Amino acid sequence: MKYVSWNVNGIRACMDKGFLEAFEKLDADAFCLQETKCQPDQVKLELPGYHQYWYSAEKKGYSGTAIFTKQEPLSVQYGIGMDMHDHEGRVICLEFPQWFLVTVYTPNSQDGLKRLDYRMQWEEAFLQYLKQLEEKHPVIVCGDMNVAHQEIDLKNPSSNHMNAGFTDQERACMTRLLQAGFVDTFRNQHPDAKDIYSWWSYRFKARERNAGWRIDYFLVSQALSGQVQDSAIHTDIYGSDHCPVSITIALQ
């Protein structure tokens, strides 16, 4: 199975910047999107052979997720089942016979860390949600998790320390996820890979200078880690301020 995740920073805008070409090039069994920024009636994508699942934020033009999958799931869950966290379209979970596929758009702590306290509440609830899923099946979780875990995961760690996405608190939450039994597939396969990022600011020609951050992930339950055959970051694909990430995994 090949799974792809991409924060498209507005699917309607991305469709004007080569989304369908990238979709066809990547040719995934499931394609997970974050930050779709649309309501169900605002976009129509013709994707023959794929089942489409969309979860929009109540606030128009904000957040939102989607999954397009060739294999029809046994069930679909929108949100994590907690009212305080389920108004922004951040999580979709598909259940398959032997695993779950979850896409997530983790809340940004924002400038001045205005939303850091909420982010900490989210992190605790989301970890609990994933562990509950694991009681039934192993989990594959992907998406924009809005944190660079280690200094190797961003270009300028010193000047960004305690900025949103690189606070000690956010990094500790990712550490807890990994300690709870989830594997960062890219770092597991490429432990020393440097200067490979998945997000670049639109300011200061950051992408041209490769002044980026690795904040988009595929994590898998420990039980699935040995089945991951490839984990990649597709820095050659444009259309958003993020690029797609992917895994190839042997699933039955």
* Contact yes or no for 189/249 (Cβ under 8 A): no
- 144 catalytic? Reply is yes
Give per-residue burial for 134-169: e unless 16+ CB within 10 Å, then b: beebbbbbbbbbbbbbeeebbbeeeebeebbbbbee
Whether 105 is catalytic is: yes
Q: At 127, which helix (H) or strand (E)?
A: helix 116-134
CB atoms within 10 A of CB 63: 20
The residue from 55, 129, 144, 241 that is catalytic is: 144
- Annotated catalytic residue, options 3, 105, 129, 197: 105
Query: Which residues does the annotation mark as catalytic?
Result: 105, 144
